[in-house]
Structure 1
Amino acid sequence: MFKHLSAEEKPYKCDQCDFSAAQKANLKAHMAKHGEKLYKCDQCDYYTGRRDSLTTHMAKHTSEKPYMCGECGFRTAEKFCLSQHMKIHTSEPYKCDQCDYYLSRKNDLDIHRTKHTGVKPYTCKECGYTTVSQAYLTRHMRVHTGEKPYKCDQCDFCTAWKGCLTRHIEEHTGERPYLCGECGYRTTKSNLHRHMKIHSGNKPYKCDQCDFCTAWKGCLTRHIEEHTGERPYLCGECGFRTHRHMKIHSGNKPYKCELCDYCTHRKGSLARHMATLY
């Protein structure tokens, strides 16, 4: 007996756009609209519009598992499966039913879901910033108050955000024990999940004014500023308006070259420096 599929059940997905279908024949008809050659597996009925996707699929038949988890040694034939597996180590069991975003706490998932509605009821009286939760607004207010409750117990560093303190403490230890199973990149635990987004291709943060999308919230925030042209944060030392600019005056240069004494306050500057060494 055939299984009845509801309107929401569309397991056949196009790997070139967001189209999905309930029947394989409908997907095949859709793929033809892309006007590209279909790459077909010679061992089963799988087909795709991308050669690299077929190569990944073929690994299932050969039992090859090139993607390895740097934390536990788990291996898989697909990048997506490795990305899903990594959530075991990052403790993010709650998935949004409207996108591929995962969170570690149910309350955070409830807050995240409000982002899909576009409703931001909490407003900062200082600058007009709006957000989806009181907790986010409280955290934002530290920009105006200068409050820095998170303090390093090894030096005088303090910050307004817990994540910044975690990354700072890792600079003291210098340890990078967590290995990316896809490219061999070594990093700290707090950065490994962020790095894995590069391989997963998941870009949950979307601009509501154009087609731009990104894997990181901070990148979306900076992109939106390009639309508005707003730079509300004024540097008290030179008059330049931007939040990131203040790093120049702080003297804090957390990004260090592993091959020489070069250090900088921007990750992008370190990447450009590293490129000159090769």
Structure 2
Amino acid sequence: MYIRTPEKLFLCNICSYKTADKSNVVRHMRTHTGEKPHACEFCDLKFSQKSNLIQHTNTHTGKKPYCCEQCDYKCTVKHNLICHMRIHTGEKPYSCENCDFKCAQISTLKYHMLSHRSEKPYSCKSCDYKCLQISDLRKHTRRHTGEKPYFCEQCDYTCSRKYSLNRHMRIHTGEKPYSCELCDFRCSNSTSLKTHMMTHTGVNPFSCQYCDYKCKKTSDLIIHVRTHTGEKPYSCEYCGYKSARGNLKIHMRTHTRKKSNLRKLVSKTPHENSHS
């Protein structure tokens, strides 16, 4: 129970909590009693506060009342919107006490803190990989098994990580939550934003070991190096054509045109063939 003082304060008789609002102390007491009077009508979950029930119910109804004013992002929980806004503001309120690392979410900080532990208790049975969390081991194991449990409901895309699926879905939704603070550029992933920012700074961090060529993306460097090594990893399945770039689609048109012409020739009637 709680106690009311002459100063019109409500005190918790279990801990040092105090408030001037009776409803606040009633809600607080549930943290000690475990009482959860608010039940979901769609599932078996119960909550100690009505506000938590409302947010949970949104996950069943699909209602997303919280909207970002800078992009099309919507969510069911206010906390998720607060975290999302940090993408636009760049705010990183959580910092590591052991190094200079800062981040936008407490979950990211907790994961980072594991990097300061020397012990890596989880190891892969197929290679020398070791990690700090079993969830990371599961993700790694999919590289060996080829398992892709996450799939897009709008196309045939499948992947091994939920993050990759979330990033892929922006292709369909058109969502571009990452924005440049120096111009109007917007994009769907942080990697593209980092690459774009180099257009403002003029930095070309990737350099060729054979010549003076420098560039902003590792993918461009890989393609360039093939001009020195002669490597052509992309090959046509119909002929001996090979390419250093992944531009086989242009080459493949030469085969589709041949097939199309052949189908037209075969589809001609005997009468047409006799006059040709």
TM interval, shorter chain, is 0.3 to 0.5
TM-score (norm 2): 0.40
TM-score (norm 1): 0.40
Higher helix share: 2
Whose Rg is larger?
Answer: 2
Q: Which has the higher contact order (CA 8 A, sep 6+)?
A: 1
